[in-house]
Amino acid sequence: MGCFLLVLLLLANSSRADDGYRLWLKYDLLRDAGKREAYARSAQFISIQNNSRASSDPVLKTAAQELQAGLQGLLGKPVPIITSVPNKTGGIILTTGTGAESQSLNDEGYQITRRQNNLVITGKSSAGVLYGAFALLRQVQTLQSLEGIALTSSPKVRYRLLNHWDNVNGTIERGYAGSSLWKWYELPERIDPRYRDYARANASLGINGTVVNNVNASSRFLTGEYLEKVAALANVFRPYGIRVYLSVYFPAPKTIGGLNTADPLDPQVRQWWANKTKEIYAAIPDFGGFLVKANSEGEPGPQDYGRTHVDGANMLAEALAPYDGVVMWRSFVYKADPKGDRFKAAYEEFKPFDGQFNRKVIVQVKNGPIDFQSREPFSPLFGAMPRTPLAMEFQITQEYLGFATHLVYEAPLFKECLESDTYAKGKGSTVAKVIDGSLHGYPITAMAGVANTGSDRNWTGHTMGQANWYAFGRLAWDHTLSSEAIAREWVNMTLTNEPAAVSQITNLMLRSREIYVDYTTPLGLHHIMGYGIHYGPEPWKANASRPDWNHTYYHRADSIGVGFDRTATGSNALSLYAPDVQKLWGNAETCPLPYLLWFHHVPWTKKLSTGRSLWDELCTRYYTGVDSVAWMQRQWTQVKPVVDPEIYADVAGRLATQHKEALWWRDACVLYFQTFSRQPIPAPFKKPERTLDDIKRLVNTYQLR
Amino acid sequence: MGCFLLVLLLLANSSRADDGYRLWLKYDLLRDAGKREAYARSAQFISIQNNSRASSDPVLKTAAQELQAGLQGLLGKPVPIITSVPNKTGGIILTTGTGAESQSLNDEGYQITRRQNNLVITGKSSAGVLYGAFALLRQVQTLQSLEGIALTSSPKVRYRLLNHWDNVNGTIERGYAGSSLWKWYELPERIDPRYRDYARANASLGINGTVVNNVNASSRFLTGEYLEKVAALANVFRPYGIRVYLSVYFPAPKTIGGLNTADPLDPQVRQWWANKTKEIYAAIPDFGGFLVKANSEGEPGPQDYGRTHVDGANMLAEALAPYDGVVMWRSFVYKADPKGDRFKAAYEEFKPFDGQFNRKVIVQVKNGPIDFQSREPFSPLFGAMPRTPLAMEFQITQEYLGFATHLVYEAPLFKECLESDTYAKGKGSTVAKVIDGSLHGYPITAMAGVANTGSDRNWTGHTMGQANWYAFGRLAWDHTLSSEAIAREWVNMTLTNEPAAVSQITNLMLRSREIYVDYTTPLGLHHIMGYGIHYGPEPWKANASRPDWNHTYYHRADSIGVGFDRTATGSNALSLYAPDVQKLWGNAETCPLPYLLWFHHVPWTKKLSTGRSLWDELCTRYYTGVDSVAWMQRQWTQVKPVVDPEIYADVAGRLATQHKEALWWRDACVLYFQTFSRQPIPAPFKKPERTLDDIKRLVNTYQLR
């Protein structure tokens, strides 16, 4: 018996370095034997409460198996799954009840309570039980007591999705963690074991849907050939409560249907979509629906036939009418208008359609009005479409946040948007309340995150990028969770349980987004990154093929000052917001500094609330931003003793790159804006030793073939 | 002690499925305790023979460490590395000697002998010792006796390289195993632990160089920014005896040098390359040299300035003059000439330059005259350039061989070329003897393989693709090894030691390439694959932007027959070969069937040596090819009990895809060629149920965005 224990210990604490593959579901043996024993007393068996339906439910089976594997790892002893439980106590009961105890839950919620000395996980659906099982594991992983446990939780949003911008050829648009997880050439005959681990990770967060292909979609996915492949993925995901969705190429009736139009009002086209949808549901009975990018950035759409977004979306919704599926129609549209303001484009194009969409349509809106910048004010569409369900689209992948080499914990960015007050129905009308349906009574609610996953062994390239996947999932479930609570959970489950280190890493994560803003786009600067690739600085870009792809379009620096005047004296984009919001942001004197240059063209010499001039403040942010990366490096060095060596080295290496590139950003921006401000770098900061031309050469390197 | 053993056994035979990451370097505990003990008696310690230079040599250290790790895994007991060895016996001695015992070795060869009851691994260089160490491990892995061991081996070719067609953005041109192994955005600060395992795998085969970037090259790699990154890779590879090479973009002096020309005769351009080369060697003292694709498929080159391949190559060679580096100049060129024959292009452009290249230049020639087809006659350049060293370029990645879903063991393809007789100096003037320098006395010799590696966990996508990497490496070291011997080694090390299964899998591998030829391009058909992507069939392609990108250009089917007449009545490409070769292939009556349609336009009704008409033979090959894939599936099913379950499922899934697609190829080709032959499918074969249009739709699916 002593020998058996030794074996278990060796297996659990194997000296193999941690490659990050297991994400936050590590299930390593808990170090504290006392705690292990305490947990084990409550986990002597797992039982699915016996009723004919439940015993064959694959999702309930998943819940039991995950609990078994997790507890076995954490507690170091086997936990049997038993079938019947007459008066047996000290175990875990999984049950889908509709009785009094589940009254307070919605369809996917769960309750964990003690009853007759058993831990009982109840859900109205088997998916609820699965989420409860992961919640119970999380309690153990984060060393919470199970004595007197009484957890009740229901998701605030119905559709919690990852959007994968993955192409058929294995590349990922804006992906920085290797190639696509989906191996289209091998499917359906070969099932990569990784698909299951992907589903496990999502289910552990409550993510219940996956759009598997890029919004710049290939019509290939709608061919019989590819639907078989997609169905094979759906079969893997189903026992984890995850449904598959497809991005659709609007002209598919032409490209693969043999029709000569894709006009959404054409009867043949409508019939084609109805038939195609029927074919999809025959292959994938729980298919989730369609995501559409239309008439945006060169993608075709209904406007090509003189029709509207409403015409296009409603046609697809009608094809879905016989089924439990939805249409997610993206509002990310903008036209090349040298006199316009891209900020206003989505609002101007979609607001007039409020109330006209089919009840199966949800309009998917990016969090900000431009495009996933490190900081944006919330999109003015939120609060402006009370009769049209709006979905939130966040970007988890760090397209504008330093790819997989910069550490940016995104929960504060997500939360800043969700907690913004639209004032649509007076004070307290937060974006979150728009999204969760409580403000306008939306019949469908959704939150989507553009995935940061890829084929890299640790899924996200940067190990700390796992926290962004985690945070998105947790917030999609419950947007009231704090950034700090989510970070602490994740660190505990992924990196270390050592309390001082947990606090130190959590603190570093919480500060990281503001640090990134400081050394790249402080005070409301935006869209000045490397052209095309969106990496590194390029504020001087002024020769793009479209005016709104020039970066001078966004910062408008001149000898007087810098910033985009979006007040009434400028583009007046501000007028799209509720009056209270206008009041908050409309006055350059009182506009919060983080949003200042989003709305105002501010003189270089203008004294800010910090006591410094705009120019001095800008420089101060750039310089202290870089110094803060060095601070992050020092913080990370301090946790070395308690973090796995491979993960430690991974993050330390990337932080070193980040510091080098923070300097690159700083030098590029202060030297470039100095050509307008014509003022010295303020003390105590030293002027960069390299020249603007040096930097431009460096930037050019990243843009060569 | 009993307990300790139990632990070891559990760790070694852990129930975790095998994900293929460890390749052929598995080092799992040998099952036969008697054999383990026998080996252990010869491996009681490892010692680097003491001399001041050796003790600090990183390559020798690698050899000792790899031996230690390998033997510890295989034998289940620790093997100490000790520093001095006065009269100690029963161990392994590593020594770089220049004495009598190493007389027969070349610079990288090794000798393994028993001396004074020690196993002594001798090399002239530390790299030789490293290769000897891996050879010794291979002996143990394949259960060969070490009693009376006396192995002597020297590589027959000096430069044994992988060519990676990897781009900066992480994609791989013609890569089917995920994204690039090289993480350029993270380098040099973060070193992926996988780089080291890549180097180990290559060193175990004797591969001593890596061209890290695509031949369609980015000039980025020559910037200071990127040289730092490349140097970081070189630092990882150096202790494994592997040097780094770069593909260069010929106009780099313009794109990153600021010059207004890249004319190779321009003094400024020459100075720029000299300076750049100096900069490279400052960062990477053992840099290997340049690989160049110039004036080929749209890539720029010296002809843009009215200069020649010789001018371009010699300029780079002169820049390398102060250093130990070489220029590999590719002969893969062809022009869009509707009246020409692409078959002749490389020969016509390069043969006139024989003897004019700088002594540091080696011309790198693809094995066949077209482009890595499933079967090609050897390139007529081999044997035709006695005064110009020629390197062999094989393609390991399966661009035209079914990507990572078709099982094609390539050693027979490589060997077929290497063993072809050029008759350049009479009978026996094989391509191998051209390449290894023995025929013409070449001062430099090289063999390059276009890598099939990627970020997929198992490196090559198809597990069986690992065998192609392995076979290339082993043949680059010693082209006299047989395909069967190499397959047996690999199966033993990678899949199973069970003798019946080893034979069965080896047999399946040996037949696999001919089976692939049968269901895709039998009897010498070539270049009729899916346009652009090079996957699946598309013999009907006839509207390409260049005549020589049409597939009708290659098969020339008409109502009379099929095949490309390359005799004197046709393009006369055959005249580029020696008279004996012309005699062999020039007569349609006697030309071996595998090459028939490469050289002859043969009537459908022509009776072949098989007794069948051409049409019947063609159909027979297509149909039996498909049936043979089913045979491979059955063979694989039979080895299930002795192969790891994850690897079993991986291969079984891909074989199922292969069978589906073999049917696709068969149906496409017989239905298409039937439109010319106008003859029925011969009994006992049944006409495909689907139509040619059905197939065309399927092919179209793979070509949509």
Is there a contact between B455 and A178 if contact means CB atoms under 8 Å apart? yes
Residues of B in contact with A225 (CB under 8 A): 698, 701
Residues of A in contact with B656 (CB under 8 A): 189-190
Residues of B in contact with A170 (CB under 8 A): 178-179
CATH code for B2-153?
3.30.379.10
Is there a contact between A705 and B219 if contact means CB atoms under 8 Å apart? yes
Q: Which residue of B has its CA nearest to A696?
A: B256
CA of B464: how far to CAs of A544, B454, B489, B636, in Å? 47, 14, 13, 12
Side-chain-side CA neighbours of A442 within 13 Å: the count stands at 30
Residues of A in contact with B663 (CB under 8 A): none
Which of B176, B186, B299, B462 is the best substitution to test chain A (most A C-beta atoms within 10 A)?
B186
Q: B483 vs chain A: nearest CA distance in angstroms?
A: 27
CB B474 within 8 A of CB B153: no
Nearest-angstrom CA–CA distance, A674 and A662: 18
Number of residues that this document lists for chain B: 705
Q: Which amino acid is at A39?
A: Y
Is there a contact between B704 and A220 if contact means CB atoms under 8 Å apart? yes
B220: nearest CB among A11, A646, A704: A704
Please write the tens of the pLDDT for every residue from B358-407.
999 999 999 999 999 999 999 999 999 999 999 999 999 999 999 999 99
Helix/strand/coil (H/E/C) assignment for every residue in A471-485: HHHHHHHCCCCCHHH
| pLDDT of amino acid B483 | 98
Measured in whole angstroms, how far is the alpha carbon of residue B690 from the centre of its chain?
37
- Catalytic entry in B399, B416, B548, B661: B399
Which of B189, B236, B661 is the best substitution to test chain A (most A C-beta atoms within 10 A)?
B189
Which of A14, A186, A651 is the best substitution to test chain B (most B C-beta atoms within 10 A)?
A186
Q: Which residue of A has its CA nearest to B659?
A: A189
| pLDDT of amino acid B54 | 58
Indicate whether A6 pLDDT > 50: no
Is there a contact between A646 and B193 if contact means CB atoms under 8 Å apart? yes
Q: Which residue of B has its CA nearest to A645?
A: B193
Beta bridge partners of B166: B172
Arithmetic mean of pLDDT, A383-403: 98
Q: Which residue of A has its CA nearest to B176?
A: A170
CB A255 within 8 A of CB A299: no
| pLDDT of amino acid A442 | 98
Is there a contact between A185 and B193 if contact means CB atoms under 8 Å apart? no
Residues of B in contact with A10 (CB under 8 A): 7, 10-11
User: Cα(first)–Cα(last) distance of chain A, in Å?
Assistant: 63
CATH code for B518-564+601-702?
3.90.1330.10
Beta strand A326-330 pairing with A46-48: unpaired
Q: Is A265 exposed, middle or buried (0-12, 13-18, 19+ CB in 10 A)?
A: middle
Arithmetic mean of pLDDT, A394-401: 98
Q: Which two tokens stand for residue B6?
A: 């139990």
| pLDDT of amino acid B108 | 97
Q: A345 vs chain B: nearest CA distance in angstroms?
A: 28
Side-chain-side CA neighbours of A92 within 13 Å: the count stands at 33
| pLDDT of amino acid A51 | 63
Beta strand B289-292 pairing with B243-247: parallel
Is there a contact between A170 and B189 if contact means CB atoms under 8 Å apart? no
DSSP string, A520-537: HSGGG--S-BPTTT--SB
The model's pTM: 0.96
Indicate whether B610 pLDDT > 60: yes
Is there a contact between A179 and B455 if contact means CB atoms under 8 Å apart? yes
Class of A159-481 in CATH: alpha beta
Each domain of chain B, given as residue ranges in start order, spans 2-153, 159-481, 518-564+601-702
| pLDDT of amino acid B3 | 39
Q: Which residues of A417-426 are buried (b: 16+ CB within 10 A; e: fewer)?
A: bbebbbbbee
Arithmetic mean of pLDDT, B672-691: 98
- The complex's ipTM works out to 0.94
Please write the tens of the pLDDT for every residue from B187-214.
999 999 999 999 999 999 999 999 999 9
Q: Which residue of B has its CA nearest to A704?
A: B220
Nearest-angstrom CA–CA distance, A614 and B32: 77
Please write the tens of the pLDDT for every residue from B74-130.
999 999 999 876 788 999 999 998 777 778 899 999 999 999 899 999 999 999 999
CB A699 within 8 A of CB A668: yes
Is there a contact between B178 and A178 if contact means CB atoms under 8 Å apart? yes
Nearest-angstrom CA–CA distance, B638 and A40: 44
Coil, strand or helix: which one is A538?
Answer: coil
How high is the mean pLDDT of chain A? Answer: 95
Enumerate the active-site residues of A: 297, 371, 399
DSSP string, A411-449: HHHHHHHHT-B--BTBTT-BHHHHHTSTTTT-S--EEEE
Share of chain A above pLDDT 70, in %: 97
Residues of A in contact with B3 (CB under 8 A): 2-3, 6
How high is the mean pLDDT of chain B? Answer: 95
Q: Which residue of B has its CA nearest to A11?
A: B11
A to B CB pairs, distance under 8 Å:
131
Please write the tens of the pLDDT for every residue from A228-284.
999 999 999 999 999 999 999 999 999 999 999 999 999 999 999 999 999 999 999
| pLDDT of amino acid A559 | 98
Sign of CA dihedral A573, A577, A579, A585: negative
CB B665 within 8 A of CB B622: yes
Nearest-angstrom CA–CA distance, A368 and A389: 17
**What is the pLDDT confidence band of residue B15, given thresholds at 50, 70 and 90?**
very low
Which of B8, B185, B456 is the best substitution to test chain A (most A C-beta atoms within 10 A)?
B185
Beta bridge partners of B93: B47, B120
Q: Which amino acid is at A144?
A: Q
Beta bridge partners of A522: none
Q: A186 vs chain B: nearest CA distance in angstroms?
A: 6
Is there a contact between A704 and B457 if contact means CB atoms under 8 Å apart? no
**What is the pLDDT confidence band of residue B50, given thresholds at 50, 70 and 90?**
low
